[in-house]
């Protein structure tokens, strides 16, 4: 019997993955770049356990047993077992998997990336897999490949038909740019969304503009973004982050039928960020949006007290601050009425944001050695 527990965080792309060239192997149509967040705040925790006594593979997600036959899950398991280096044919043993997010699924924060990255990282240790595991996480959920390592990560689209070279590599570790901070603004929303899988497929099949994006915009943008990260050039980093987010949502709107993920509040956040940067005459904050209305903001630590003050002014918290402010402590928040006056934006209704999460770039998957951290008991069943 052997057990591994791992925690892994979500990653937030600054150059977006939007479109597959192979639906089964999950091969993208362009390179993408993201930062993996700190596991202290938003993470998936996964325990994997193998035992000769288990009768079948089983999986529990957030307290519910799920279908182990899920093809993407099966693909990951098959790949891991193929590359298992353990003796004793333990690749023949059955596996139990138990996984939980420490953030509400309803928050609309992409959880599949953290989930598959965590699963693969845990299984890789359990089966003593060596070498790149990002390509295994990728076949679970594309962007999961970027969460199997920390810092800033580039996912190379690759060119081989079997996807062997479609892997993620670290650009720099989190320690390279320790001042970088992230604010996630969780937006209230009731709209039913087009899933990102369906959205990508529809975009590739129907948008005229996405072809131009892939061929003529992204290659140069990737190059400049990687350079900006290496050189810690926040202005270039921020501008490319915002432009790429906007363009991803533009090609969704150009699809047919069109679909949108951003809502009125999302767009008001965009306007506020631009109005703030203009008022301080410097690009201090960048936004990015994935397949939902929540904003993720990148900013340097030094800008946080002032910007959170601005945010609190234009988006008055609808609940008490202890519940509203999550993640890293936000002790110093600047109240600058003069600055507020200079910002050409509209004050929103209290509660337009559900809550905010303040976090930073992290170091990637983390193994928890203390048996108390396991999500499965000695019989391989979830500890409720």
Residues that bind a second copy (CB under 8 A): 191-192, 208-209, 211-213, 216-217, 239, 242-243, 246-247, 249-251, 253-258, 260, 263-264, 267, 270-271, 274, 346
Least CB distance to a second copy at residue 191 (A): 8
15/59 with CB nearer a second copy = 15
198/250 with CB nearer a second copy = 250
CA nearest neighbour of 61 among 24, 105, 95: 105
Least CB distance to a second copy at residue 155 (A): 21
Name the CA radius of gyration of the chain, rounded.
Answer: 21
CA angle 303, 238, 305 (to 5 degrees): 10
Least CB distance to a second copy at residue 377 (A): 43
| Rounded CA separation 19/28 (Å) | 6
CA nearest neighbour of 186 among 318, 277, 276, 62: 318
Least CB distance to a second copy at residue 244 (A): 10
Alpha carbons within 13 angstroms on the beta-carbon side of residue 343 total: 27
The answer to whether 11 touches 184, Cβ cutoff 8 Å, is no
Q: Facing residues of 8 across strands?
A: 44
The answer to whether 309 touches 336, Cβ cutoff 8 Å, is yes
215/378 with CB nearer a second copy = 215
Residue 23: φ, ψ to 5°: -75, -30
20/249 with CB nearer a second copy = 249
102/263 with CB nearer a second copy = 263
Least CB distance to a second copy at residue 223 (A): 15
Q: Facing residues of 353 across strands?
A: 187
CB atoms within 10 A of CB 372: 7
Least CB distance to a second copy at residue 195 (A): 15
Least CB distance to a second copy at residue 276 (A): 12
323/346 with CB nearer a second copy = 346
The answer to whether 259 touches 200, Cβ cutoff 8 Å, is no
213/374 with CB nearer a second copy = 213
238/311 with CB nearer a second copy = 238
- Which residues have a Cβ under 8 Å from the Cβ of 104 and sit 6 or more positions away? none
Least CB distance to a second copy at residue 330 (A): 27
Least CB distance to a second copy at residue 250 (A): 4
CA nearest neighbour of 66 among 92, 97, 110, 42: 97
190/384 with CB nearer a second copy = 190
55/192 with CB nearer a second copy = 192
Least CB distance to a second copy at residue 256 (A): 6
| Rounded CA separation 267/296 (Å) | 13
């Amino acid at each position: 019997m052997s057990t591994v527990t791992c925690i892994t965080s979500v990653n937030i792309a600054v150059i977006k993955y939007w479109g597959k060239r192979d639906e089964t192997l999950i091969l993208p149509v362009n390179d993408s770049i993201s930062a993996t967040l700190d596991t202290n705040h938003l993470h998936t925790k996964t325990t994997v356990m193998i035992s000769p006594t288990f009768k079948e593979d089983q999986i529990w997600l957030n307290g519910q047993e799920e279908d182990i036959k899920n093809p993407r899950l099966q693909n990951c398991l098959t790949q891991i077992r193929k590359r298992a280096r353990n003796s004793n044919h333990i690749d023949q043993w059955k596996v139990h998997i138990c996984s939980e997010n420490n953030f509400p699924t309803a928050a609309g924060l992409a959880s599949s990336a953290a989930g598959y990255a965590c699963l693969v990282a845990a299984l890789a240790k359990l089966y003593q897999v060596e070498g790149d595991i990002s390509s295994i996480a990728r076949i679970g959920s594309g962007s999961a490949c970027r969460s199997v390592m920390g810092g800033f990560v580039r996912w190379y689209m690759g060119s081989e038909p079997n996807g062997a070279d479609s892997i993620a590599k670290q650009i720099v570790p989190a320690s390279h740019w320790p001042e970088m901070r992230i604010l996630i603004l969780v937006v209230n929303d009731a709209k039913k969304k087009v899933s990102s899988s369906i959205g990508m497929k529809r975009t590739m099949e129907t948008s005229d503009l996405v072809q131009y994006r892939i061929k003529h915009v992204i290659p140069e943008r990737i190059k400049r973004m990687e350079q900006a990260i290496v050189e810690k050039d926040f202005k270039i980093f921020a501008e490319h982050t915002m432009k790429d987010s906007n363009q991803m949502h533009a090609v969704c709107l150009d699809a047919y039928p069109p679909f949108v993920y951003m809502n009125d509040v999302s767009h008001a956040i965009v306007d506020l960020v631009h109005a703030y940067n203009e008022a301080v005459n410097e690009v201090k904050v960048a936004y990015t949006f994935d397949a939902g209305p929540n904003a993720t903001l990148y900013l340097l630590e030094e800008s946080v007290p002032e910007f959170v003050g601005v945010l609190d002014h234009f988006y008055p918290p609808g609940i008490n601050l202890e519940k509203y402010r999550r993640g890293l402590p936000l002790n110093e928040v600047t109240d600058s009425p003069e600055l507020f006056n200079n910002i050409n934006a509209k004050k929103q209704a209290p509660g337009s944001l559900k809550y905010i999460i303040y976090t930073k770039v992290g170091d990637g998957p983390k193994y928890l050695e203390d048996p108390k951290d396991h999500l499965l008991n000695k019989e391989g069943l979830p500890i409720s």
